[in-house]
Amino acid sequence: MDLVNELVVAQAEAAQPDRALVATLKRIFAIDPPSVAGVKAAHVPELTQLAQRLHAVFAGLARGDVDAAARGLNELLARHPAQPHLAKEDGVWRLHHHPADAPLVPMWTAICAEGLARVVGLPSAQRLGTCERPGCGRVFVDVSKNASRRFCSQACQNRVKAASFRARQAAGKAT
């Protein structure tokens, strides 16, 4: 999610140098310390490409084109298959989706594609959203009770509300 928003949407709004993006990626990869230590500017182009492909999957889901979303995920999974296996961490067995020594980009491709693929085809796929504010396009997981979220943030919701309020006022004055 953050990968898409930071590498595709935020980059389109205001391009950051690779050095700043590496810092952002370290924050995104925080759950996996080896990724935080290993991510370099050289990874940015490939990770950007991954984020663009994931963004296309969200776009497919947003317009109800599940076939396109599934095709996009299958392409990613064919290139970088997930390899589920159990690993013992601090005495507890946990399911991992890739060996710890897998290269960074294939590992994150498999993690992201498999995570999304698990949801496609389920009712919960409707909870993968794309912000409806024109010009935003950030993606989110809707965890609201009635799955009614339409915007990535309160800021976007407020901007759309304010714009429609102004539009109604203008329409009121015109008549």
Which of these, 111, 118, 140, 113, lies nearest to 127 by C-alpha position? 140
Segment (H or E) for 14: none
Nearer to Zn ion, 146 or 154 (CB): 154
Q: Does 8 bind Zn ion (CB under 5 A)?
A: no
Give the DSSP per-residue string, 68-117. HHHHHHHHHHHHS----EEEEETTEEEEESS-TTS-HHHHHHHHHHHHHH
User: Applying CB under 5 A, which of residues 82, 116, 138, 139 lies at the interface with Zn ion?
Assistant: 138
User: Applying CB under 5 A, which of residues 50, 112, 131, 139 lies at the interface with Zn ion?
Assistant: 131
Q: Does 139 bind Zn ion (CB under 5 A)?
A: no
Q: Does 9 bind Zn ion (CB under 5 A)?
A: no
Q: Does 152 bind Zn ion (CB under 5 A)?
A: yes
Q: Does 133 bind Zn ion (CB under 5 A)?
A: yes
Q: Does 136 bind Zn ion (CB under 5 A)?
A: yes
Asked whether 61 and 128 are in contact (CB, 8 A), the reply is: yes
Kindly list the residues in this chain that would bind Zn ion in the complex (CB under 5 A).
131, 133, 136, 138, 152, 156
